[in-house]
Amino acid sequence: MRISDSVGYRNLLDNLDMLNARLEQSTQEVSSGQRLSHLHVAPADSAEMVQLNDQLARLDQFKTNADSGGYFLQVSDSTLSTLYNLVTSVYAAGSAAANNFNDANSLSALASQIQSQLDQILSLANTQIEGRYIFAGSQTTSPAFTVAGGIAAYQGDNVANTIQISDGLQVEQNIPGSAVFSPVFAAVESLLAAVQSGDQSAIKSSLGQFSSALATVNQVRARLGVNLGKLEDAQTAIQTQETSIKTRQSHIGDVDMAAAISRLSQTQIALQAAQTAGALVRQHNLFDYLA
Amino acid sequence: MISSIFSSLGIAREALYAQQVGLDITQNNIANVNTPGYTRQRADFVPGGMATPGNLQSGSGVQVASIVSYRDRLYDQRVNNELQRQGEYGASFSALQQVEALFNDSANSGLQSAIAAFFNSFSSLANAPENASLREQVLANGEQLGSKFRQSYEHVQEVQSQLDREVAETVSQINTITANIARLNAEVSATRGANSNASNLEDQRQELIDQLAGLVDISYYTDTGSGNISITTRQGALLVAGNRSNPWQAVRSLAGPFLQVHDASGTDITSAIQSGKLGGLLKTRDTNIPSYLSALDDLAAAIISRVNAQHASGSDLNGAAGGDFFVPFAPVTPGSNQGAARAIEVAITDPAEIAAASSGGGPGSNANAQSLAGIQNELLLSGNTATLSQFYSNLVFNIGLDAKNAGDNLEVENRLVTQLQNQRDSVSGVSLDEEAINIMRYQKAYEASARLISVIDTLSDDLLRIIGG
């Protein structure tokens, strides 16, 4: 092919342009470490990145939910554990009161002990987390139980919230207090009344209510334990998922540094060679040799 | 007739003249080595007529028959075709690159992260529905979502308006070029009519036609008689006929927000423009970008209506039924979501009015907040086949793909144009080495002819001496 001068210059310019563009691209890759600096580099990967980011945000939210729910459940569980011990100790006081040899003084001492324990139970029933009454169902802004005429009455409702801890998995967050506290209040209040009146048969019959009240507390605690277990499992699962999503993100989004750096230096060498060759080749023509 | 010593002098004079012309042309070629569009020329020499001295025939020297250009019209046409596509893809790619930058969520700061943050804030609210700061957070994220939508939408529209401005500029460039081509047509036919060399004018004209092809898809033909080139778009809209150009106008019409292209008679020829820079600008402005904007509108409209519906089915902190969370979208055109992405705005100002509770539930009920958070898993779009984030990532994919296609095509066209220009230049371009050889050739021939004159001079001196002797 006949080579005119413009062909030589155009090819040189084109090659330099192309190499400069590649150098720019490689430099950007190496300096940012990012492969998907533009959507057009890999549209499908960029679109996948959007979904992966979305999933990560979701997982992050599940983690927040599990943390918050875990705290809620732990506070509930430790409250019920304290409740169980208190009720057991009330039962012991009741058993002591059921002894025929008690005089009026010791009965009155036992009665005031039970009264103070009843106050503690009320305070447990009205446990708050950040101002929320956790045993009040959805009526969290007012106390779960209020006492009128020595009788505690449930003010809440039976709404049990759930929290989302993974796609499609929800865990009960709160225990409406009615089911667990009402039998306890009933047993303790009737025992207190019996001890105060010194009615032995009433003391004995009210002690009979304790076993089912305690069994309810235990059942609820067992349920809380199961839910706490679900949260822990979910947190482990979230971490595993998070790791695999981040691995995938780094796979499609990160530059292969070794390859990018070697591409960069290759391009640099090619560019230098093209510049040198261009300068050499275009240095002379036949006019240099005409006298 | 008898050959005379002076007829030899005539032959030598013709020869000197011819070599002189050869040198002139060489000089012209060298001078234009860097002139874009210049086609190298050569002098075609032919032997002079036969002289018949007695019974002996000898030639009567050399004549310059014509000066011709090494023009290859086939290459001109092919370069021209590829320039049209190069212009088209170049315009598209540059606009789409601006669009794609707005949708690159790899930094996780774009619209998708705002959507996720908004719905996840309902999930956070579900952990403590009566919590005032979590409620504030929902409102803040809702406002952030609205502002991201507006931002994305307006940025894309800004690119669209910029394309619109470029349409006007390109039309005026086209008019300048076609006017110059028409003027050159007149000059070429006048020069040809005077039997002169119109090569330089034709080169200029061809260069302008190449420039024009970069701007708009054209087809042209040369009238062999007059040498005039007539140009129309591929769809037949007239640009140049003889010495007259048909100036176009970029006209703002009532039919739409954007400029239309009208020809000199006022006919709308916008849809007749298919390629070149103008074609690329129009396609991106009228096809690509509207599809992105309408996807954003659909996304926003789906969020507004679904969130409002779910919000209405719950109770707020005061036990009242949920009102509109977002300002309901009032379609400008019935049945169309156009403008929703710009209109999305939180309607609630009091955080207590967020309906996190199930209907009739107490302040601690979170059922509706859960349902609101769950909207991001619902198949709301693309005929109930895509979630919000799937729909959005599909939009990201489409924008990336459009940009990639334009970029890939542009790269191919760049290479094709270079290759074809090289091929054309291998015929038409100036080679300095070749011209150096031509100089030597003409110089040697000139020297030889001059030498001949000096020989004839000596001979005639001899004759005169004899006569005078």
Give tens-digit pLDDT for A127-166. 999 999 999 999 999 999 999 998 999 999 999 999 999 9
Q: Compute the distance between CA of residue A246 and CA of residue A253 in angstroms, rounded to an integer.
A: 10
Q: Compute the distance between CA of residue B247 and CA of residue B263 in angstroms, rounded to an integer.
A: 6
Q: Do A287 and B432 touch (CB under 8 A)?
A: yes
CB-CB neighbors (< 8 A) of B400 in chain A: 38-40, 42-44, 46-47
pLDDT digits (tens, 9 = 90+) for B12-29: 888 999 999 999 999 999
* Other C-beta atoms lying within 10 Å of the C-beta of residue B393: 25
Q: Is the pLDDT of residue A108 over 50?
A: yes
Which pLDDT score, from 0 to 100, does residue A4 have?
Answer: 85
Output the CA angle B400-B406-B410, nearest 5 degrees.
140
Residue type, A254: D
Kindly identify which residue of chain B lies nearest to residue A57, measuring between CA atoms: B116
Query: Across the interface, which of B366, B367, B426 has its CB nearest the CB of A7?
Result: B426
Q: Is the pLDDT of residue B299 over 90?
A: yes
Could you please state the CATH topology (level 3) that the domain comprising A74-230 is classified under. Answer: f41 fragment of flagellin, N-terminal domain (1.20.1330)
Q: Rounded to a whole number, what is the distance in Å from the CA of A80 to chain B's nearest CA?
A: 20
- Looking at B416, B443, B459, which one is the last position of a domain? B416
Q: Rounded to a whole number, what is the distance in Å from the CA of B60 to chain A's nearest CA?
A: 32
Which pLDDT score, from 0 to 100, does residue A282 have?
Answer: 67
Q: Using CB atoms and an 8 Å cut-off, which of residues 181-240 of chain B contact chain A?
A: none
Q: Compute the distance between CA of residue A263 and CA of residue A255 in angstroms, rounded to an integer.
A: 12
CB-CB neighbors (< 8 A) of A138 in chain B: 357, 361-365
Residues B50 and B92 both lie in one domain: no
Residues B11 and B47 both lie in one domain: yes
Residues B58 and B82 both lie in one domain: no
Kindly identify which residue of chain A lies nearest to residue B427, measuring between CA atoms: A2
Q: Do A159 and B358 touch (CB under 8 A)?
A: yes
Which pLDDT score, from 0 to 100, does residue B1 have?
Answer: 41
Strand partners, A163: A171
CB contacts < 8 Å between A and B, how many? 200
- Looking at B377, B392, B416, which one is the last position of a domain? B416
Q: Compute the distance between CA of residue B394 and CA of residue B386 in angstroms, rounded to an integer.
A: 9
Q: Is the pLDDT of residue B285 over 50?
A: yes
Question: What residue numbers bound the domain in which B331 lies?
Answer: 78-416
CB-CB neighbors (< 8 A) of B376 in chain A: 58
Residue B421 lies in a domain: no
Which pLDDT score, from 0 to 100, does residue B388 have?
Answer: 96
Residues B329 and B288 both lie in one domain: yes
Residues B407 and B441 both lie in one domain: no
Output the CA angle A265-A267-A269, nearest 5 degrees.
70
Q: Compute the distance between CA of residue B11 and CA of residue B3 in angstroms, rounded to an integer.
A: 12
A261, containing H or E segment: helix A257-281
Tokens standing for residue B312 = 């209405």
Residues B368 and B464 both lie in one domain: no
Query: Across the interface, which of A57, A64, A132 has its CB nearest the CB of B130?
Result: A132
Kindly identify which residue of chain A lies nearest to residue B93, measuring between CA atoms: A40
Residues B66 and B86 both lie in one domain: no
Q: Which of A1-10, B118-127, B234-243 has the highest mean pLDDT?
A: B118-127
CA gyration radius, chain B: 38
Residue B427 lies in a domain: no
CB-CB neighbors (< 8 A) of A14 in chain B: 418
Q: Is the pLDDT of residue B55 over 60?
A: no
For residue B391, give the nearest of B252, B274, B295 by alpha carbon. Answer: B295
Which pLDDT score, from 0 to 100, does residue A239 have?
Answer: 95
Q: Assess B379–A contact: CB distance below 8 Å, yes or no.
A: no
Our count of domains for chain B comes to 2
Q: Rounded to a whole number, what is the distance in Å from the CA of B175 to chain A's nearest CA?
A: 29
Kindly identify which residue of chain A lies nearest to residue B125, measuring between CA atoms: A65
What does DSSP assign to residue A254?
B
Place of tokens 């156009």: B338
Q: Do A138 and B363 touch (CB under 8 A)?
A: yes
Q: Compute the distance between CA of residue B100 and CA of residue B452 in angstroms, rounded to an integer.
A: 75
Query: Across the interface, which of B367, B393, B421 has its CB nearest the CB of A51?
Result: B393
Q: Using CB atoms and an 8 Å cut-off, which of residues 94-123 of chain B contact chain A?
A: 96-97, 100-101, 103-106, 108, 112-113, 115-117, 120, 123
Query: What is the mean pLDDT of the segment spanning A164-178?
Result: 92
Query: What is the mean pLDDT of the segment spanning B82-97?
Result: 96
Q: Rounded to a whole number, what is the distance in Å from the CA of A28 to chain B's nearest CA?
A: 15
Residues B345 and B398 both lie in one domain: yes
Q: Compute the distance between CA of residue A66 and CA of residue A229 in angstroms, rounded to an integer.
A: 11
Q: Do B426 and A4 touch (CB under 8 A)?
A: yes
CB-CB neighbors (< 8 A) of B421 in chain A: 10
Residue B333's pLDDT band (cuts 50, 70, 90): confident
Q: Is the pLDDT of residue B2 over 60?
A: no
Q: What are phi and psi of A243, to 5 degrees?
A: -60, -45
Q: Assess B358–A contact: CB distance below 8 Å, yes or no.
A: yes
Contact A139, B361 (CB under 8 A): no
Residue B422 lies in a domain: no
Residue B425 lies in a domain: no
Residue A272's pLDDT band (cuts 50, 70, 90): very high
Contact B156, B102 (CB under 8 A): yes
HEC per residue, chain B: CCCCHHHHHHHHHHHHHHHHHHHHHHHHHHHCCCCCCCCCEEEEEEECCEECCCCCCEECCEEEEEEEECCCHHHHHHHHHHHHHHHHHHHHHHHHHHHHHHCCHHHCCCHHHHHHHHHHHHHHHHHCCCCHHHHHHHHHHHHHHHHHHHHHHHHHHHHHHHHHHHHHHHHHHHHHHHHHHHHHHHHHHHHHHCCCCCHHHHHHHHHHHHHHHHHCCEEEEECCCCCCEEEEECCCCEEEECCEECCCEEEECCCCCCEEEECCCCCECHHHCCCHHHHHHHHHHHHHHHHHHHHHHHHHHHHHHHHHHHHHCEECCCCCECCCCECCCCCCCCCCCCCHHHHCCECCCCHHHCCCEECCCCCCCCHHHHHHHHHHHCCCECCCCECHHHHHHHHHHHHHHHHHHHHHHHHHHHHHHHHHHHHHHHHHCCCHHHHHHHHHHHHHHHHHHHHHHHHHHHHHHHHHHHHHC
pLDDT digits (tens, 9 = 90+) for A41-56: 999 999 999 999 999 9
Query: What is the mean pLDDT of the segment spanning B228-254?
Result: 92
Query: What is the mean pLDDT of the segment spanning B192-217?
Result: 92
pLDDT digits (tens, 9 = 90+) for B41-54: 999 999 877 655 55
Share of chain B above pLDDT 70, in %: 96
Residue B162 lies in a domain: yes
Query: What is the mean pLDDT of the segment spanning B131-138?
Result: 96
Which pLDDT score, from 0 to 100, does residue B104 have?
Answer: 82
Contact B166, B281 (CB under 8 A): yes
Q: Compute the distance between CA of residue B163 and CA of residue A99 in angstroms, rounded to an integer.
A: 97
- The full set of domain ranges for chain A reads 74-230
CB-CB neighbors (< 8 A) of A160 in chain B: none
Residues B348 and B463 both lie in one domain: no
Q: Compute the distance between CA of residue B346 and CA of residue B369 in angstroms, rounded to an integer.
A: 16
Residues B360 and B453 both lie in one domain: no
Best of A60, A61, A132, A246 to substitute, by most chain B Cβ atoms within 10 angstroms, is A61
Residue B424 lies in a domain: no
Is residue B140 exposed (0-12), middle (13-18) or buried (19+ Cβ within 10 Å)? middle
Contact A142, A94 (CB under 8 A): no
Q: Which of helix, strand or coil describes residue A232?
A: helix
Q: Is B274 left (phi over 0), alpha (psi -120 to 50) or beta?
A: alpha
Which pLDDT score, from 0 to 100, does residue B3 have?
Answer: 60
CB-CB neighbors (< 8 A) of B131 in chain A: 130, 132
Residues B256 and B277 both lie in one domain: yes
* Other C-beta atoms lying within 10 Å of the C-beta of residue B195: 7
pLDDT digits (tens, 9 = 90+) for A66-83: 999 999 999 999 999 999
